[in-house]
Amino acid sequence: MIHLFNGFQNPFGGSDLETLDLHRLLSADSEVRLWATSSRVSGELMRHFPIRRISLPKWDVPDGGTYVFLGAHWRNKMWPYLIPRPRRLIYVFNTFHPKVMALTARMPRMLNWPEPELVLISDFQKRMLRVDGVVHPSPIDIGRFLPQPAKSGRPFTLGRLSRDTADKHHADDVPLYETLLAGGVALRIQGGTVLKGRLKPHSQLELLPQGQLAAEQFLPTLDVFYYRTGSHVETFGRVVFEAMACGLPVVCHSHGGYADHIRHGENGFLFETTQQATRILADLKADPALRATVGLKARQTVEQLFSPQALRQRLDFYLD
């Protein structure tokens, strides 16, 4: 028995989606249960997936086996001290908070759980945190994300997708977007309503709320995917890989877990400064053949990263 724990607060959150994808994959070989550790669990997720709330009065609790915490924790909770002890304890650390890492490593003596096994989701994260652990890229069902033929008769369209929070957007992107719009670029930002009031209305600007379209519906409406965050550190960046799976050239800031898999100029582009990003975007706008070539390499990259053989090796870790 494998028990997966997550807060399940956001239907569009990377940690929530990672947990659901891991549940889908592991369920082919083992009995797997989903547990919500937050009282603010999403009703939408509860309706669509077999997520349970931990209840001590009803004794609806995990009953031993392998406990896997993904972006969630047992600290400051009473139920871990009362439920059966796990055979294995795995912590999938998919954020960038060293203090949480320290709490995970210091297991309360009274809890009497096994030592946690640590799973990281990128080599970038492992380098930044300077910790030991196996690295498993966040699982993605790339079959949902397929390259589409380029649409004719529309302006060159740049876009991005994220949660609709300020920390997901970099302040320097506002003037960049204004410059691009002035140059005839169409801009679609899902998870961008937080930018209303900072960007002037424009006929070729769309600021959509998070979740208005499924990622596999939204991404094919773009010619290029652009990504840079603000204070949020992207330890993996699953949306970047979803865009690559759609055969899109991605133009991303170099500080993020996705950067380990992007070979600049071959299967995507990395930049440090806004000036560099502007030049890359200008080249891609002017050269449809370059977009197609880089997009093809991007798709091949995610096919290798999430191949059946690669996924099998990662899943076996949980099934030992």
Query: Is 160 in the same domain as 174?
Result: yes
Provide the phi-psi class of 8: left if phi over 0, else alpha when psi is between -120 and 50, else beta.
Answer: left
CATH number of the domain at 259, please.
3.40.50.2000
| Whether residue 11 sits in one domain with residue 98 | yes
149 is a domain residue = yes
Q: Average of pLDDT values for 123-136? A: 90
173 plus 242 within the same structural domain? yes
pLDDT for the residue 190 = 97
Q: Read off the pLDDT band of 62 (50, 70, 90).
A: very high
Pairing state of beta strands 88-93 and 224-227?
Answer: unpaired
> Does residue 316 lie within any of the structural domains?
no
Q: What is the pLDDT of residue 100?
A: 66
Closest CA to 22 of 311, 239, 313: 311
> Is 100 in the same domain as 155?
no
Residue ending a domain, choose from 92, 117, 139: 139
Judge whether residue 67 has pLDDT over 80.
yes
Are residue 103 and residue 190 in the same domain, yes or no?
no
Mean pLDDT of 65-91: 89
172 and 123 within one domain = no
Please check whether residues 157 and 294 belong to one and the same domain. yes
Q: Give yes or no: residues 19 and 115 share one domain.
A: yes
Range of the domain at 109: 2-139
User: Six-digit token pair at 167?
Assistant: 């920390």
Tokens (6 digits) for 112: 């009497």
**Residue-wise pLDDT tens digits, 203-239:** 999 999 999 999 999 999 999 999 999 998 899 999 9
Model-level pTM? 0.89
